[in-house]
Amino acid sequence: MTNPHLNVCLAGGYWLHSYKRVLRDLRPLFDLLESGSPAVVTVDMSRLTFMGPAALATTVALLMKVRDSGLTLGGGTIQAPRAPGMFRYLHRMDFFRLLFHDPGMPDPSTRSQAEGLLECQHFVDDDDLRPVTKAILDAIASKTELDDQAYYALDTCLSELLENVIFHADAAPHGGVAAVQAFKNELEVAIVDLGVGIPTSLAKNPDYAELAQRDDLTAVQTALEPNVTSTPWRNRGWGLAFTELLLGLNEGHMTIRSEAGYVLRGSKNADKLVPDQPLPGTLVAMRIKTDQPLDYSKAWAMLDAEIGSVEDDDDDGGGDLREAG
């Protein structure tokens, strides 16, 4: 009996603003996971010309999950990009190392420390959270001016966003993938997991179960409100809300996609249901303006106004942004 073959083609450029293209082109792999039927998988990246952090982290997370789920039969392959620059970039971002551990090919990339760049980081448990959070934060700090308060406030937000993957998304054993890349006057940070997604995660909290089950967009919108969390005993639910305010003041923006819910927040706002290109999991992607400040004080005042008074103690482990400085 001939083994079934699955061919996936990734071609051209994949930017954050065209993220739906990578979801469309990766759809056969998402369908493979859903079906649970193994296949010989060929991923043709020969005509790939660009992949931003959001598309790259999603592709890595999906290929790792397919591999670790035992759905890839022998004979499959990844056809590397023909463009030398793109091939070097995938090596530099640890695409091949994460997928193959020992890629069996020379690494043509330059490994000098680059400002505003962080290779794909795979995190699976509590022990990974601190080093990955610090790596993301240091990549941001290398391209933006952060005072001590802004640094530690952003640290708290990033910690909560990564914790969401481990403790909310039921992403184990596959975990999540994060990556950072600088562009002209901008920095893109992406955190992706292929866990249960925001709607299912938020529904665990009886206070929000009805809203979360209404539709995927309502669930994502609810998750952006301060003090909303599926694990109130662990964190305060400030991470997304504060990040939204911080990026709005910075003239940047944050994109969140989970299942069929799509929300854009910051200097631009959009709310959509996208049932034709759902993401079985969650993407949080930030675009930070590197030529604009990250105004911690004003963002905190705005958040404080939204949530009223916030206790200074940290008994629930969520972190207090005012104490962080």
Per-residue pLDDT tens digits for 139-174: 999 998 888 888 888 898 898 889 888 876 676 678
What is residue 112's predicted lDDT score, i.e. its pLDDT?
A: 62
Do the Cβ atoms of 52 and 116 come closer than 8 Å?
no
- Strands (E) across the chain are located at 5-9, 12-14, 40-44, 48-51, 77-79, 118-123, 176-183, 186-193, 253-259, 261-266, 270-273, 279-289
Cα–Cα distance, 110 to 103 (Å, whole number)? 17
Q: Which residues fall within 8 angstroms of residue 106, CB to CB, at 6 or more apart? A: none
- Share the mean pLDDT of the chain: 86
Report, in angstroms and rounded to the nearest whole number, the Rg of the chain calculated over CA atoms: 19
Return the minimum-mean-pLDDT range out of 44-53, 103-112, 163-172: 103-112
What is residue 228's predicted lDDT score, i.e. its pLDDT?
A: 78
Which of 222-231, 276-285, 307-316 holds the top average pLDDT? 276-285
Pairing of strands 48-51, 12-14: parallel
Domain 1-101 has CATH 3.40.50.300: no
What is residue 313's predicted lDDT score, i.e. its pLDDT?
A: 40
Class of domain 113-325 as given by CATH: alpha beta
Which sequence spans correspond to the domains of the chain?
Answer: 1-101, 113-325
Do the Cβ atoms of 160 and 318 come closer than 8 Å?
yes
> Above 60 in pLDDT, residue 182?
yes
Cβ density class 77-111: b for 16+ within 10 Å, e for less: ebebbeeeebbebbbbbbbbbbbeeebeeeeeeee
Cα distances from 158 to residues 55, 77, 240, in angstroms, run 19, 35, 9
